[in-house]
Structure formats: structure tokens, C-alpha cells
Amino acid sequence: MKLQSTILSLIISLTFVIYAQAQKYCTVFYEGKYRHQTGGGSGCYGVDETDPIYKVYSDDPTACYIFYSAYNCVIGTEVFGGCGTISPPGFSVKSVKLTCS
């Protein structure tokens, strides 16, 4: 019984370690009049729609992003996207989908 409990504890611990390693965190930075940042991991995030974007980059050079004209990253409302550093021509957007590789 003690051995089964120990094995179960090891399996649970190993599962958490594997899950934690699989999670990749990154942040997207975007600049207009001001410098903004959002993210923390792959997902959809809101952005400051009042500040047109002229530069986008991430703390993870392999991260990619798509900016949308609608809230909640609605498919069909993509405005621009890319990976690495890009310089869009001052688009105003409402959300960004961030993918951390």
C-alpha cells in the first residue's frame, strides 16, 4: 500500500513537471504613441484600440501574432500579423492572438 501511494505521488509530480515544461510564456509589445504590452502565453488578448500601432515585437523571437479589428480575435476580422519584429502602418485594432512557440 505504501509503495502504491509513493508511485502515485511520483506519477502526479511527473505529470505537473511535464505540463509546466510544455507551457511556453511570451509577451507581445506594440508601440504607437505609447509602448504597450500584453500576453503571458498563447491566447487572445485585448489591446489599446485608441493608439494606432507602428511597431510590434515579442520577448520571444519565435512568437507570432495576429491583430484583429474585432474584440475576442474573431475569425474574419484579421488586420495584420507576423512573427519577430514588424512595422505596420498605424492600424487601430482591438485584439491580438499570440502564439508562443
CATH number of the domain within which 59 lies:
2.60.20.10
- Tell me the per-residue pLDDT of 64-101, one tens digit each, with 9 for 90 and over: 999 999 999 999 999 999 999 999 999 999 999 999 98
pLDDT score recorded for residue 23? 63
pLDDT score recorded for residue 18? 43
Measure the CA–CA gap between 56 and 58, rounded to whole angstroms.
7
Domain presence at residue 6? no
Q: Is 89 exposed, middle or buried (0-12, 13-18, 19+ CB in 10 A)?
A: exposed
Whether residue 1 is predicted with pLDDT greater than 70 in this model: the reply is no
- Tell me the per-residue pLDDT of 13-34, one tens digit each, with 9 for 90 and over: 444 434 444 568 999 999 999 9
Give the domain range for residue 81.
Answer: 25-99
Strands 27-31 and 55-58: antiparallel
Cβ–Cβ < 8 Å for 9, 3 = no
Question: Could you tell me which of 76, 67, 71 has the C-alpha nearest to residue 99?
Answer: 67
Domain presence at residue 46? yes
Domain presence at residue 33? yes
Domain presence at residue 40? yes
Domain count, the chain: 1
